[in-house]
A and B are shown apart, each in its own frame.
Chain A
Amino acid sequence: MQNDQLLILRRRYHKLCNCTRLGFLYYTMKRKKSVILFSFVCLFVAPVWISAQTTLPAASELKKLSFEELMNIEVTSVSKVPERLTEVASAIQVITNDDIKRSSSNTLGGALRLASNLQVAKTNSHDWAISSRGFNGATLRNNTLSNKLLVMIDGRSVYTPLFGGVFWDVQNVLLEDIDRIEVVSGPGGTLWGANAVNGVINVMTKSAKETQGMLVTASTGTFLQDHLAARFGTRIDSNLYLRVYGQHFDQGSTKLANGTDARDNWGLTQGGFRLDYYPSAKNSLSIHGDAYGGSEETPIGSKQSGQNLVGRWVHTYSETSELVVQAYFDRTWKYLLASDLRELLNTYDIDAQHRFALNKSNSILWGIGYRYMDDHTSNTFLPANRGLNLVNTFIQDQINLIPHELDLTVGTKFLYNTYSGFEIQPSARIAWMPTPRHTLWGAVSRAVRTPSRFETDIFSPPTLSTPGGIFKAETVVSYEVGYRVRAGERVSLSLAAFYNFYDDLRSFNNNPTPPTTFIFANDQEANTWGFEISGNAVVNDWWRLRGGYTYLDKKFTSKSPNVLPASALIEALDPKHQVMIQSVMNLTRNLQWDVAARHVGDIQSTLVGTAAVGAYTTFDMRLAWESPKFTFAVQGQNLAASDHAEFSSQQIPRSVLAKISFRF
């Protein structure tokens, strides 16, 4: 029956192709942009009245399966729109395990492209420029100066005190283990750690209980040359679960603007474990750790390694009261060959957070945390070694003004750090749910970006010096409004608009008091404004769509005549427009066809020697055959854009990859 249909289809489609030689389609074929347009049209014109298609074996076959096999079948090939999102009064977007699996991404950075409220650009073979609501900073060595995002992986903050950003090349979570990634654009300052000025990325992996059995994947392709991963999950005792995993990959190099090989290939090997223990229904304990080592060639040849160990205990007193205690140790080491710079960072962190209902209408969340970061450098920074203290405490009250209808959340975070001392970050949010399907919300918050070693300790005579202890924290006051709507079980839409006012932003100034030519200061202000639209649509049993559009604009002002004109561009290199659409489709019971397309607007000229980055439109595509035990996928990235620059001058290639996975 299925085959017959296909045969008829094939005939029809040959006919159609012939007919269209002279028609509209042929015209569109001739133009690259129109190809994309056509693909979008394909995705959207498809009628919503399409009836459900059988993607399950017949009942008679299902009955032959064991309980274990039945429990392994994915019941919603098309995930339902997450319900609790409607209640969240912030610009949150969620990337699920299935979204990642059905995209063609093979790195965390790639997976983050699926959140349309993030600006994600690949800078070279191994690094990414990732920001939310703008402020993707200029490239520095292998990384970028982007510093207004808080990134957490299973409760562990991965920002570096060296420059306040993230070394994306060493955040290699096994994508199959990710449960969900929550991306909040806008200040999350009240509840989360430092640097949540423009957004929070919260990566959560599955528990060991949810990753039982063996998984082996092997990939080979034109850009990601090889990737091998294995994960094994087992039940040690009735309440004790363990998983261990390992992965290794080698990625090829990009090209320089002139077409020559950029020689920035890299490779990394990583392993880790997670132990989940449920001694009783009221307690759970999770211990997990990772260790990795890798090396990169250009722009700066480097080697890196790291280990981390996290323990978290959750105690539930009642449905409205819970205590979470977490501690972790994180060691990262980096060696940049060209500048002979070695950096060793040891982080020790302990946090506790308690949630309880004060009375019927007040729900309190409060917490306290201490972090000590011991940073050793071999040169470039003075003093070479620094011990950094970070103490933070927060309290938040969620006040239920009208039950199920009007919620007010007020809170503040107090932060003490070695550089700028005491900082206060208050926020207020209001959410109105006129009906269970609609949420209107608004928020005002203040957040700070604490100084990093880059602005305070860098030692690079005779060019650049730092104002030492007088470099202040950068601040933002953010005004947000948003609207979420859920139309039935199948469609949800979210709109968030913001206006941010930044003060004391970092600037590069002409130094009025030589010897050095330039000096850091807090002499920039900026306004940014924009909006984010995102949506999920479950078209039918076998097809769903998600996507979004983000608009962002900004204006910088210098507060001093000494500020170098390029200062604004060093801080913020962002496209004004970006669009992302992901289509997830089960063509037959076993055949999956997925497309993730994106358009990213142009980015203003970067610093001397690099051209502006032009707008580009491209798509990733995946075709996979999947059975309960086996997946074979062919996936392509950047299929519509051959070598193209996304942030720096490195040209990101079009690539194709074959991937095979076994589960048993």
Chain B
Amino acid sequence: MREEIRYIAPLFRKCFIQTGVVLVCLFGMQSLHAQTNVSKEYRIKAVFLFNFTQFVEWPSAAFSGPTSPFVIGILGDDPFGNSIDETIQNEKVGSHPLVVQRYKDLRDLKNCHILFLNGSDPEKVRENLLVINHYTLTVSDADNFMKSGGIIRLITENNRIRIQVNPEAARTAELFISSKLLRVSEIFDPKNQPK
């Protein structure tokens, strides 16, 4: 076996150079095919947001009419780019077509069913959460989000995304979270937290 390797080795060396050449070409090619640069993390988070529409129930009172849109709002800088638009394209929640709205500031905020709060400033998040209506599923990846009263936090740890849910906060917002979602989530209990 070792003998065989000895014969293969010089070939391997040659291949290595050729692979290098391929790579140089590849770089050249790549630059011609520029794509939008939304991180993998947020493209997956966009899919999480979409999945929440399927595993959380909104009361009919949350909608102004039977075909009124289901609104996913993004507050603050938009980390999703067009990945969220791609994800929800032609999708419906029951009879409600999905739409995305982006809000620069709290003052622009309109009624929405899912609100993604971007921004890692805990004070700001807390402030934002104070003025958010009933029937809004608040989602964020900010560190202090759960303590500030948020409903779902997306945690990126060890390169993977986990979900943390505060069922109590969901109940307050009059939303019903399915057991399927709860099963894969970590439950956040505000009473049982280190100070």
Q: Which residues from chain A sit less than 8 Å from chain B, CB to CB?
A: 5, 8-9, 12-13, 16-17, 20, 25, 28-29, 32, 35, 38-39, 42, 45-47, 49-56, 58-59, 62-63, 65, 67-68, 70-77, 79, 97-98, 179, 206, 210, 222, 280-282, 316-319, 541, 587, 593, 621, 636, 639-640, 642, 653-656
- The verdict on B21 contacting chain A, using a C-beta distance below 8 Å, is yes
Contact of A654 (CB < 8 Å), options: B9, B20, B41, B159: B9
- Known contacts: A13-B22, A51-B30, A621-B16. The answer to whether A70 contacts B161 by CB under 8 A is yes
Q: B44 on the interface (CB 8 Å rule)?
A: yes
Q: Is there a chain A Cβ closer than 8 Å to B107's Cβ?
A: no
Check A59/B83 contact, CB under 8 A, given A8-B29, A621-B16: yes
Q: Mark B3-39, 1 if CB is under 8 A from A, else 0.
A: 0011011001110111111111111011101111101
Of the candidates B83, B86, B160, B180, the one whose C-beta lies within 8 Å of that of A72 is B160
B interface residue numbers (CB < 8 A to A): 1-2, 5-6, 8-9, 12-14, 16-27, 29-31, 33-37, 39-41, 43-44, 46-48, 50-51, 55, 83, 86-87, 89, 156, 158-163, 180-181, 184, 189, 192-195
Grouping DSSP codes into helix (H, G, I), strand (E, B) and loop, the A interface class, with mixed when no group exceeds half, is mixed
CB within 8 Å for A53 and B35 given contacts A13-B22, A75-B41: yes
**Number of cross-chain contacts by CB at 8 Å:** 158
| CB–CB B16/A46 < 8 A | no
Out of A50, A52, A55, A75, which one reaches B27, CB within 8 Å?
Answer: A50
Count chain A CB atoms within 10 A of each CB in B16, B34, B87 and give the residue with the most: B16
Contact between A222 and B20, CB atoms less than 8 A apart: no
Contacts of A65 in B (CB 8 A): 47
Give the CA-CA distance A282 to B193 in the complex, in Å.
7
Q: Report if A282-B192 is in contact (Cβ < 8 Å); known contacts: A9-B25, A62-B47, A67-B51.
A: yes
A51 and B26 alpha carbons, distance in the complex (Å): 12
Are B37 and A52 closer than 8 Å at their CB atoms? yes
* Residues B13 and A97 in contact, CB atoms below 8 Å apart: no
Main secondary structure of the interface of B (DSSP, over half): helix
Docked-complex contact B161 and A16, CB < 8 angstroms = no
Q: A67-B180, A75-B41 are in contact. Are A59 and B159 (CB under 8 A)?
A: no
Known: A38-B17, A636-B12. Contact between A47 and B159, CB under 8 A? no
Contact A656 B5 (CB under 8 A): yes
What chain B residues lie within 8 Å of A45 (beta carbons)? Answer: 24
Q: How far is the CA of A68 from the CA of B185 in the complex (A)?
A: 10
Chain B: minimal CB distance from A181 (Å): 14
Contact among B9, B40, B160, B180 for A56, CB-based, below 8 A: B40
Distance, CA A74 to CA B20, complexed state (A): 27
Chain B residues, CB < 8 A from A16: 21, 25
Q: Which chain B residues border A53 with CB–CB below 8 Å?
A: 30, 35
- Listed by A's residue number, 12 A-B pairs whose Cβ atoms lie within 8 Å are A13-B21, A32-B13, A42-B24, A46-B24, A49-B31, A53-B30, A222-B1, A222-B2, A282-B193, A541-B37, A654-B9, A656-B5
**Contact at B160–A73, with CB atoms within 8 Å?**
yes
Q: How far is the CB of B82 from chain A (nearest CB, A)?
A: 10
Residue from A62, A281, A655 in contact with B192 in the complex, judged by beta carbons closer than 8 Å = A281
B91 nearest CB across to chain A (Å): 8
Structural contact, B37 and A67, CB atoms closer than 8 A:
no
Rounded to whole angstroms, the CA-CA distance of A381 and B48 in the bound complex is 64
**B14: nearest chain-A partner, CB-CB:** A29
